[in-house]
Amino acid sequence: LWLGRTLNYQYDLFRLMLDENEDPYNAARRAYEQDLKPHHSWAVQKVCQAAMVTLKPMRKTAVLSSLGGFEEDHYGQQEHEATHRDLNEMMNSWKPLLCRWRKVFSDLELESI
């Protein structure tokens, strides 16, 4: 259950950063509110929201260069394109899994757990 939710959160986080050009903090916040927050207690919500504040000063290039395995100082157009390509490949491989996960949980009426 939580593996699927976490995977869905990560998928939405990357999609927001890549497709909607969100900065890391806003992408994390929006993905959290959609995918995880409804399933967290009040206390866990507050801890997660406090943890996300640490993303505010992070630049998108710093996050993407780290995800791509590059030094930020050497993160140019080629590295940017390679990182985007690799993240998109990863996300595309997750799509069928996430669709199946949503269907199974919908069929079993487990979405609200």
pLDDT along the chain (113 residues), means of 10: 90 94 93 94 94 86 93 92 95 93 85 66
Burial 33-72 (b: 16+ CB within 10 A, else e): eebbeeeeeeeebeebeeebeeeeeeeeeebbbeebebee
Q: What is the pLDDT at residue 10?
A: 95
pLDDT at 106: 84
What is the total residue count of the chain? 113
